[in-house]
């Protein structure tokens, strides 16, 4: 398998930047190519979402292949919402066979929030269990049934986490479960409150997770009053501090977009100073072409990172342990 540029960047200590692309509601491959072309010289890897918000789009594995064809390392997202354990294992093996080394696992939003609310939710396994299953396939060389794999995959496994969702006191422990299951990197929800994020990061450090998992802090530009309202009131668990809202709403309407870009760039700069932050994950749905501008404002040039994350030991996978019983209702992550 070809070298994994994303994993290599994280293990080198380089401040690593990833971005996110949502596949189209259609079969036009040029949509993804156009979005990725704008990002190609600026990010190390690009996430392809898996029917995000429970809305039907092109499959994540197909989008990931298109990202790779456009010259960028893909990170394939996999949700548990739509597949049972048979389909999940099959899709994961197919991704490995096609040379997609980076897999980010999340439970997924319930179908009732999407464009087909009558769809039957699956949630056979949650994200922690799928991480454990994927690690067993890779390291234990066997399927969940116990049957051996003739050719085991070689994935770099990731998870998502929201440091701000209640109850906040348990968020670091929740990440610990995912790391124990097999997560080697994590991308977080949008960060707008640096001190609150730093508190979570300190808890993560105290649990010894930074030696086993790389943290990419989620960031994104708020480009309109409508977008601000959506983030504040319609995204569960997302926290936008009052001072951020006041700053954005204080500028003239014509200046709102530029202020949102500056705020995002400043956030990246502040996050880069926190020990334990290995990089940022930039989420700008529909505005991927603005990502280079944001990174430039943050002092990051094309395919270079003047900011250096603290060097860390190579990411090690935990020893395989028996899979725990399913713990109840699945969450979106």
Segments making up each domain of the chain, as ranges: 5-217
Q: Beta partners for 21?
A: 48
Least confident of 45-54, 125-134, 314-323: 314-323
Report the chain's mean pLDDT, rounded to a whole number: 91
The per-residue pLDDT for range 95-105, each reduced to its tens digit, is 999 999 999 99
- Which of the two residues, 241 and 111, has the higher pLDDT score? 241
Q: What is the mean pLDDT of residues 171-193?
A: 97
Least confident of 70-74, 82-86, 184-188, 317-321: 317-321
Q: What is the mean pLDDT of residues 164-174?
A: 94
pTM of the model: 0.90
Tell whether omega for the bond before 167 is within 30 degrees of 0, i.e. cis: yes
Best CA proximity match to 140, nearest among 156, 125, 153: 153
Q: What pLDDT, on a 0 to 100 scale, did the predictor assign at position 235?
A: 85
pLDDT band at 330 (very low <50, low <70, confident <90, very high): very low
Q: Which residues contact 233 (CB under 8 A, 6 or more apart)?
A: none
Q: Residue 41: is its pLDDT beyond 50?
A: yes
Burial (0-12, 13-18, 19+ Cβ within 10 Å), 304: exposed
Q: What is the mean pLDDT of residues 128-132?
A: 97
Tokens of 107: 């439970």
Fold adopted by 5-217:
TIM Barrel (3.20.20)
% of the chain with per-residue pLDDT over 90: 83
Question: What is the spatial distance between Cα 170 and Cα 184, in angstroms, rounded to a whole number?
Answer: 20
Q: Vertex 77, ends 75 and 25: CA angle to 5°?
A: 105
- Which of the two residues, 185 and 121, has the higher pLDDT score? 185
The per-residue pLDDT for range 276-295, each reduced to its tens digit, is 999 999 999 999 999 999 99
Question: What is the spatial distance between Cα 168 and Cα 163, in angstroms, rounded to a whole number?
Answer: 7
The per-residue pLDDT for range 196-251, each reduced to its tens digit, is 999 999 999 999 999 999 999 999 999 999 999 999 988 888 999 999 999 999 99
CA distances from 313 to 12, 13, 31, 168, 180 (A): 9, 9, 38, 28, 17
HEC secondary structure over the chain:
CCCCHHHHHHHHCECEEEEEECCCCCCCHHHHHHHHHHHCCCCCEEEECCCHHHCCCCCHHHHHHHHHHCCCEEEEEEECCCCCHHHHHHHHHHHHHCCCCEEEEECCCCHHHCCCCCCCCCCCCCHHHHHHHHHHHHHHCECCCCCECCCCCCCEEEEEECCCCCCHHHHHHHHHHHHHHCCCEEEEEECCCHHHHHHHHHHHHHCCCCCCCEEEEEECCCCCHHHHHHHHHCCCCCCCCHHHHHHHHHCCHHHHHHHHHHHHHHHHHHHHCCCCEEEEEECCCCCHHHHHHHHHHCCCCCCCCCCECCCCCCCCCCCCCCCCCCCCCCCCC
Q: What pLDDT, on a 0 to 100 scale, did the predictor assign at position 53?
A: 85
Q: What is the mean pLDDT of residues 177-202?
A: 97
Q: Residue 162: is its pLDDT beyond 70?
A: yes
Tokens of 301: 């040039």
């Amino acid at each position: 398998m070809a070298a994994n540029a994303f994993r290599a960047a994280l293990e080198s200590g380089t401040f690593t930047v990833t971005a996110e692309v949502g596949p189209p509601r259609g079969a036009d491959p040029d949509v993804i190519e156009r979005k990725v072309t704008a990002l190609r010289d600026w990010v190390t890897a690009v996430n392809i979402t898996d029917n995000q918000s429970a809305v039907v789009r092109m499959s994540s594995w197909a989008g990931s292949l298109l990202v790779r064809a456009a010259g960028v390392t893909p990170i394939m997202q996999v949700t548990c919402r739509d597949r049972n354990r048979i389909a999940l294992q099959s899709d994961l093996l197919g991704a490995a066979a096609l040379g997609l080394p980076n897999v980010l696992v999340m439970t997924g939003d319930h179908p009732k929030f999407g464009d087909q609310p009558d769809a039957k939710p699956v949630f056979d396994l949650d994200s922690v269990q799928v991480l454990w299953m994927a690690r067993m396939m890779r390291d234990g060389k066997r399927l969940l049934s116990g049957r051996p794999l003739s050719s085991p995959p070689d994935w770099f496994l990731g998870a998502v986490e929201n440091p701000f969702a209640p109850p906040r006191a348990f968020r670091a422990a929740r990440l610990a479960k995912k790391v124990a299951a097999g997560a080697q990197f994590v991308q977080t929800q949008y960060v707008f409150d640096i001190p609150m994020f730093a508190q979570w990061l300190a808890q993560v450090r105290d649990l010894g997770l930074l030696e086993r998992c790389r943290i990419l802090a989620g960031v994104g530009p708020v480009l309109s009053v409508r977008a601000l309202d959506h983030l504040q009131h319609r995204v569960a668990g997302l926290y936008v501090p009052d001072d951020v809202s006041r700053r954005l709403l204080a500028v003239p309407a014509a200046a709102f977009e530029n202020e949102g870009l500056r705020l995002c760039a400043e956030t990246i700069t502040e996050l880069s100073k926190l020990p334990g932050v290995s990089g940022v994950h930039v989420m700008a749905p529909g505005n991927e072409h603005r990502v280079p501008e944001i990174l430039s404002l943050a002092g990051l040039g094309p395919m270079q990172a003047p900011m250096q994350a603290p060097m860390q030991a190579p990411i090690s996978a935990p020893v395989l342990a028996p899979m725990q019983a399913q713990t109840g209702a699945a969450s979106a992550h």
